[in-house]
Structure 1
Amino acid sequence: MAIFYLNVITVSRSVGRNAVVAAAYCSRTRLRDPRRETVADFSALGDIEHSEILLPIGARAEWSDRATLWSEVEAVEKRDDAQVAREVEIAIPSDLSRADRIALAREFFNEQFVERGIIVDLNIHRAEGADGVERSYVQGLFSMREIVEEGFGKKRTDWKDAKLLSKWRERWTLLSNKYLLAAGCGQLIRAGADAVRGRALEPFFEDEQIERRAENQEIAWRNGERLLGEPELALRALTRAGATFTYGELIAFVSKNTAGKEQFETARARVECSVELVRLSDGERFSTRSLVAIVQCASSQSGAIATASPGLEAAETSRTLKEAISQWESAGLRLRGVGLTYETAKAFEKKSGIKSVGVHGLLGRWQKKQDRLASTDVLVVNDAKGLSARQKEWMLRATRAARSKLVLVDGTRLVEIDGGATGLSPEEMTAVGG
């Protein structure tokens, strides 16, 4: 199945972003920013496949010049914390030809934006990812103000519609599949799949020239957005030079590759909650699941660490459930509670604040292919000792398939099992659960 990814990012001055720099990055060009008297130059990146400005009816002809357009967008905004533009980034099915990729992007942006009076700076990129696979994606940068005779008028409010992103994703899916079918491709896309995988984080400019600071800020923001959807990129980078790293090194990496306190805090929490992160037995260093040769499981009788099947980390944690919930929520993860019965589930829900259901009801919905887990879910099972072997097997299979996190609560003790792993049996899960 072809990869689906469509996300929207706001270009806001409150986190140091700038429309001219964003436009230079998206188009891989060199643009001067008159407001800050700096130059942004991304022309060396060289992965641009197609670039054009799509003007709606009533737009000035001079706005077809990228430098003129985005300089005026910046000039009309007076607030230091203004939101100056928005950007839509979409993965394009790689099976399509270059002509079809351009036609698909044009049809989508003309239909959803240009015909509604919105200027779009359309750019298509094609490059080899970190995994060696060549991929294509489109970046559409658009203004947030209505077009009037004098230039740019009031800020539009229609883009604030909470349902708009879902509409865009649905429409992109339909259009993409139309082009894939016309090209004779059997693999179609569906909305809701994971984000694009494989593209490495953007490298920073190493020189300390003043004009490079804005460009590095732009790269940091974009890397931060990548880490929010793919936190494993941080772990992959941290273990490139060595098999282990410290918590301080993790914090330094996330800080460098984010812009602003809010993005840093959310990205840090996502990385710390990643199912790939493994805390080693000394408690001071970390690694990734793929680099751990021996699995550590918590012994139910003595609390000691026992050797089990490779490929999975089941780590007993000293933090309380309340502390864990706070971290998971900070990472933007969805918490789902499970109890042995409806009554115990509701009691656990009242105690923990986690919306909970009985295990029989949950497994029944899973059998009907309803209410499935997502990679951003944390499944919290209260009193796992009472689960049957069949129920344990279902829990493990579901979390592995979704690459979500499974947490077993035994009194005040938490045991976290990373999803997506193999090798743990229902009997071993019993030992882990206590």
Structure 2
Amino acid sequence: MAIYHLHVKVIGRKSGSSAVASAAYRAGSRLRDERLDRAHDFSAKRGVVHSEVMLPENAPEAWRDRERLWNDVEAFEVRKDAQLAREVEFALPREMNQAQGIELARDFVQGEFVGLGMIADLNVHWDMAEDGMPKPHAHVMLTMRAVDENGFGRKVREWNRTEMVERWRERWAELANERLAELNIDARIDHRSLEAQGIALEPQSQIGAPAKRIEGRGLEGEGTEADRAELHREIARGNGARIIADPALGLDAITHQQSTFTRRDLAKFAHRHSDGIEQFDAVMGALRGSPDLVELGKDISGEDRFTTRAMIEAEQRLHRAAGLMAERERH
């Protein structure tokens, strides 16, 4: 099932970060850090399926070299608490293949970041999630200053505005949904909160915390990671209890993303919104036993496909409305 996730953060020296180390980790490569006089080697990292530096017009061609780019950023920013880069991380639809996901990520980055004058270091990761399914996502490190053929200029404060982040969040959902429709994939994402969508479940994090501490200091400690994991389980338990009590909540959440779904889609949803095998089984039982669940038969792949009574009724209303409009046009 397609999920919505887009997160923006700043990479800065105040937290002990290095732009070169951050870039090396996200690209799964080895880069020499001139400021720290050391190499950051993440070339053993798996799952990086696409990596490129995208330049706006008039940017020096030399900055297509990732190592040169981020070392120049480090050299230009002299303050001890300097903000070095902005990172945008977003989930790609699982329903797309790698080529489609990479093309979508590149189009979004070109239109929303490079087109505004930012240099974008794009890396697409195709990791595996806990449920054994792909967890495709993109990391984009962005420069924070205006650039021209002579190098870096002023910091562009407009790129820090909350309205800009909201624009990116909304535009990502629009572009992803347009592409899903073009590919005839029955899935969609929504940048709005669950509450705004009318879904009575508590939000859960979409992409897990990084498996490694990449800069050695300045990132959350082990205690914070443990607290985050426990909070995630607590929210999952709460959502599982809500779905068991009223499975219509779960079915409504599923059909906000796709109008029909398979048994595997149900299992993915139950896995995400439960804690432990016992609650998973209970959530699955509640969903499968709901009177709102409608079995449609097997699809072209031979999988059982389902929808809900609410979706069927909504489609029937649309057909009736279309029929009335056609009748009026004939008269």
Q: What value does the CA root-mean-square deviation take over the aligned residues?
A: 3.0
Which SS does the other structure have where 2:85 is aligned?
Answer: strand
1:214-233 matches, cutoff 5 A: 215-217=215-217, 221=219, 224=220
Q: 2:223 matched to which residue of 1?
A: 254
**Any conservation in 1 of the 2:16–2:215 contact (CA below 8 Å)?**
no
**Any conservation in 2 of the 1:130–1:199 contact (CA below 8 Å)?**
no
Q: Distance in 2 between matches of 1:149 and 1:185?
A: 42
Q: Distance in 2 between matches of 1:195 and 1:123?
A: 24
Report the Cα offset of residue 88 of structure 1: 0.3
Residues 220-249 of structure 1 show CA distances to partners (whole Å, capped at 9, x for unaligned) of 73xx4xxxxxxxxxxxxxxxxxxxxxxxxx
Letter in 2 for 1:44: A
Report the Cα offset of residue 60 of structure 1: 0.5
Q: 1:202 matched to which residue of 2?
A: 211
Q: 1:66 to 1:274 in 2, by over 3 A?
A: closer
Q: 2:9 matched to which residue of 1?
A: 9
Q: 1:60 to 1:201 in 2, by over 3 A?
A: closer
Which SS does the other structure have where 1:138 is aligned?
Answer: strand
Q: Distance in 2 between matches of 1:125 and 1:289?
A: 29
Q: 1:189 matched to which residue of 2?
A: 189
Q: 1:97 matched to which residue of 2?
A: 97
Q: TM-score, normalised on structure 2?
A: 0.64
Q: 2:140 matched to which residue of 1?
A: 140
Which SS does the other structure have where 1:163 is aligned?
Answer: helix
Where is the helix percentage greater, Structure 1 or Structure 2?
2
Q: Distance in 2 between matches of 1:272 and 1:52?
A: 36
**Any conservation in 2 of the 1:90–1:137 contact (CA below 8 Å)?**
yes
**Any conservation in 2 of the 1:24–1:42 contact (CA below 8 Å)?**
yes
**Any conservation in 2 of the 1:3–1:196 contact (CA below 8 Å)?**
no
Q: Distance in 1 between matches of 2:168 and 2:127?
A: 24
Q: 1:43 matched to which residue of 2?
A: 43
Percent identity for Structure 1 against Structure 2: 38
Which SS does the other structure have where 1:276 is aligned?
Answer: helix
**Any conservation in 1 of the 2:28–2:45 contact (CA below 8 Å)?**
yes
Report the Cα offset of residue 34 of structure 1: 0.2
Report the Cα offset of residue 127 of structure 1: 1.0
**Any conservation in 1 of the 2:112–2:168 contact (CA below 8 Å)?**
yes
Q: 1:203 to 1:130 in 2, by over 3 A?
A: farther
Report the Cα offset of residue 178 of structure 1: 1.1
Report the Cα offset of residue 201 of structure 1: 4.5
Report the Cα offset of residue 100 of structure 1: 1.4
Which SS does the other structure have where 1:17 is aligned?
Answer: coil
Structure 1, unaligned runs of 5 or more: 205-213, 225-251, 258-266, 278-287, 291-310, 313-402, 404-420, 423-434
Higher relative contact order (CA 8 A, sep 6+): 2
Q: 1:148 to 1:125 in 2, by over 3 A?
A: same
Q: TM-score, normalised on structure 1?
A: 0.50
Q: Distance in 2 between matches of 1:135 and 1:275?
A: 19
The alignment of Structure 1 onto Structure 2 pairs a total of residues equal to 236
Q: Distance in 2 between matches of 1:86 and 1:68?
A: 18
Letter in 2 for 1:171: R
1:31-430 matches, cutoff 5 A: 31-192=31-192, 194=203, 197=206, 199=208, 201-203=210-212, 215-217=215-217, 221=219, 224=220, 253-255=222-224, 257=225, 276=234
Q: Distance in 1 between matches of 2:16 and 2:122?
A: 23
Structure 2, unaligned runs of 5 or more: 194-202, 243-272, 274-281, 284-331
